[in-house]
Amino acid sequence: MAIPVNGFSKLTKQEKIAWLAKNHFINQEEGIDILQQYVNSDAKLQSLHDEFIENTISNFYLPLGIAPNFLINDKYHTIPMVIEESSVVAAAGKAAKYWQQRGGFKAEILGTEKIGQVHFMFYGNTENLNRFFAEVKPTLLQATESITANMRKRGGGITNIELRDKSNELANYFQLHCTFETLDAMGANFINSCLETIAKTFKSEAQTCDMLSAEEKDIEIVMSILSNYVPNCVVKAEVSCPVDALNEDKNLSPQEFADKFVRAVAIANAEPHRAVTHNKGIMNGIDAVVLATGNDFRAIEAGAHAYAAKSGSYKSLTHAKVEDGIFKFWIEIPLALGTVGGLTSLHPLVKLSLEILNRPSAKELMQIIAVAGLAQNFAAVRSLITDGIQKGHMKMHLMNILNQLGATAEEKAYFIDYYKNKTITHSDVINQFNALKAKNV
């Protein structure tokens, strides 16, 4: 049972591990040994990892895989993916090869606008607030000039500030809705610094404004923070080919395959329970590349799912149709990404991943990651409407089961061959493994 501790953050790493082992590990020596196994032998590199977060006790490794053969806008890309789930990387690579033979993927940026908001309470006449805002807006922009100078030199910065009346949703609630262009930076720190300066200036200017009453001058700033919902920072990726070119399945004609695929996507648009799993598959591909490139997958997830529900009902992020004999499959998704700053310049594997991608700009990375999500979804839907999702997934999962059972290399080779044309289930693998062990005793 966990016990409280005071001053934990002030302990050394070894003291933290000792406390953890004493109070939480069943086998203290084994637990400490496991933590030590994942500590990097390079002290300088380990020190870098230790400083990413607080109270570091070890490293938690995830596999870094590669999906080659992605033809995007007529250029080939090898895509790095960080994920623990079996079959994701294989599925992405399979989809890349499939569309490589049918013209590849096309991608385009629909917008790069990012958003931040100053949330505040105002008690008084809204017309007075509107007049005050119109007068103070230039001052708000001027107050941030020292923060935005470098960004403006590169063509970015604050693009607009709007006063929004949200008092119908919450009494006395208003916001300064600010939009930004942050170029190759994700821009979270930049946006938040601007917002806090805007909020401070807005409040101080109100206190000396003659057009506001004493009560109206007392603006209450609640918080100033960027938004991870960026519906105008959107990328589109698509594939298309003549229906007749969809000739890869023995059991379905190209037209049957196309019709069944379009219906499967339509079901995800009509049924939220299916849409959540459908979109989770998309995010398998997206999150894996977001992680590999040192971006914030939690922010991307939150924004993507909000976008999926923008109509008021949760729907598929992808779309499919057949028109004039052409099969089309596409995704539109908000992706606020960066290729400079943060972990992109600190984490050695992040830097290497960006190098694998030929050091893309933020816009190029948006396109690559959207394609990864589309490819993942195509592979999943394709499996669902043909062989079923478990056939390919369980083949990949077989190695996890065998590793859990402590199988030798020879035993792994035996079972890979054994299940080549058989249905794989967890219980059956265990039974067959135990039978083989008994036979060889």
Residues 330, 333, 338, 342: what is their CA dihedral angle, to the nearest 10 degrees?
-130
Binned at pLDDT 50, 70 and 90, residue 173 comes out as very high
- Residue 210 contacts residue 130 (beta carbons within 8 Å): no
Same domain, 381 and 254: yes
- pLDDT bracket for residue 394 (50, 70, 90): low
For residue 333, list its beta bridge partners: 235
Amino acid identity of residue 49, one-letter, is H
Residues 179 and 307 both lie in one domain: no
Read off the pLDDT of residues 360-393 as tens digits, 9 standing for 90 and up. Answer: 999 999 999 999 999 999 999 999 999 766 555 5
Q: What is the 8-class DSSP label of residue 6?
A: S
Q: Is 278 a catalytic residue?
A: no
- The stretch 126-146 carries a mean pLDDT of 98
Average pLDDT over residues 104-118: 98
pLDDT of residue 345: 83
Number of neighbours of residue 176 by Cβ within 10 angstroms: 22
- Catalytic: 85? yes
pLDDT on residue 441: 66
Q: Which one from 50, 85, 181, 332 is the annotated catalytic residue?
A: 85
Cα–Cα distance measured from residue 357 to residue 418, given in angstroms and rounded to the nearest whole number: 38
Whole-number pLDDT of residue 158: 98
Residues 133 and 162 sit within 8 Å (Cβ to Cβ): no
Tell me, what's the pLDDT at 248? 73
Per-residue pLDDT for 332 more than 80? yes
- The answer on 428 and 405 residing in a single domain is yes
Q: Answer yes or no: is 424 within a domain.
A: yes
Is 249 one of the catalytic residues? no
Catalytic one of 97, 280, 305, 397: 280
At which of 367, 387, 407 does a domain end?
Answer: 387
Q: Are both 126 and 79 inside the same structural domain?
A: no
Instruction: Show the tokens assigned to 38.
Output: 């994942």
- 319 and 403 share a domain? no
pLDDT value at residue 429 = 87
Cα 261 to Cα 109: distance, rounded to the nearest angstrom: 26
Q: What six digits make up the tokens of 419?
A: 């299940």
- Residue 358 in any domain: the answer is yes
Among 227, 260, 285, give the residue marking a domain's end. Answer: 227
Whole-number pLDDT of residue 98: 96
Instruction: Judge if 211 and 259 occupy the same domain.
Output: no
**pLDDT mean over 237-251:** 90
Q: What pLDDT is recorded for position 408?
A: 87
- As beta bridge partners, residue 77 has 70
Q: HSE (CB half, 13 Å, CA atoms) of 390?
A: 5
Does residue 55 belong to any structural domain of this protein?
no
Q: Which backbone phi and psi does 204 adopt, to 5 degrees?
A: -70, -35
Q: Where are the alpha helices (DSSP H) in 362-425?
A: 362-385, 389-404, 409-418
Cα separation, 121 vs 403, whole angstroms: 58
| 367 lies in the same domain as 400 | no
- For residues 18 and 21, give the distance between their C-alpha atoms in angstroms, rounded to a whole number: 5
d(CA 116, CA 177): 6
The pair of structure tokens assigned to 310 is: 């923008």
Residue 409's pLDDT is what? Answer: 85
- Domain holding 415, by residue range, is 393-440
pLDDT score recorded for residue 10: 94
Q: Going by DSSP bridges, is the β-strand pair 75-82/157-165 parallel, antiparallel, or unpaired?
A: unpaired
Looking at the fold, whether 346 and 426 belong to one and the same domain comes out as: no
Residue 304 and residue 326: Cα distance in Å, rounded? Answer: 28
Any idea what the CATH number is for the domain that residue 372 is in? 3.90.770.10
Query: Whole-angstrom Cα distance, residue 288 to residue 292?
Result: 6
228 CB-near residues (< 8 Å, 6+ apart): 299, 300, 302, 303, 306, 336
All residues at 6 or more sequence positions from 27 whose CB lies less than 8 Å from its CB, including other chains: none
Q: pLDDT at residue 324 above 70?
A: yes
If one counts the domains in the chain, the total is 4
Active site (annotated) includes residue 280: yes
Residues 349 and 355: their CA atoms lie apart, in Å, by 9
Residue ending a domain, choose from 227, 259, 277 = 227
Token reading at 62: 């995830």
Q: What are phi and psi of 62, to 5 degrees?
A: -125, 150
Say yes or no: 377 and 258 in one domain: yes
- 187 against 397, higher pLDDT: 187
289 and 269 together in one domain: yes
Burial of 10 (0-12, 13-18, 19+ CB in 10 A): exposed
- For residue 282, name the pLDDT band (cuts at 50, 70, 90): very high
Asked whether residue 433 falls in the same domain as residue 367, the answer is no
With bands split at pLDDT 50, 70 and 90, how would you rate the model's confidence at 417?
Answer: confident
The pLDDT of residue 18? 95
Kindly state whether residue 99 falls inside one of the protein's structural domains.
yes
Nearest of 276, 260, 390 to residue 329 by alpha carbon: 260
From 196, 216, 296, 364, the catalytic residue = 296
Q: Is 210 within a domain?
A: yes
Give helix 362-385 / helix 389-404 axis angle, nearest 10°: 100
Give the pLDDT mean for 44-67. Answer: 94
pLDDT, residue 399, reads 79
Across 410-418, average pLDDT = 83
pLDDT band at 285 (very low <50, low <70, confident <90, very high): very high
Run of H or E including 157: strand 157-165
Instruction: Note whether 136 and 166 are same-domain residues.
Output: yes
- Rg of the chain over all Cα atoms, to the nearest angstrom: 27
What is the DSSP annotation of 200-218?
HHHHHHHHT-TTS-HHHH-
pLDDT at 1: 62
2 in any annotated domain: no
For residue 406, pLDDT over 90 is answered with: no
Residue at 1 is within a domain:
no
Average pLDDT, integer, range 341-364? 94
44 assigned to some structural domain: yes
> What's the token pair of residue 440?
């060889």
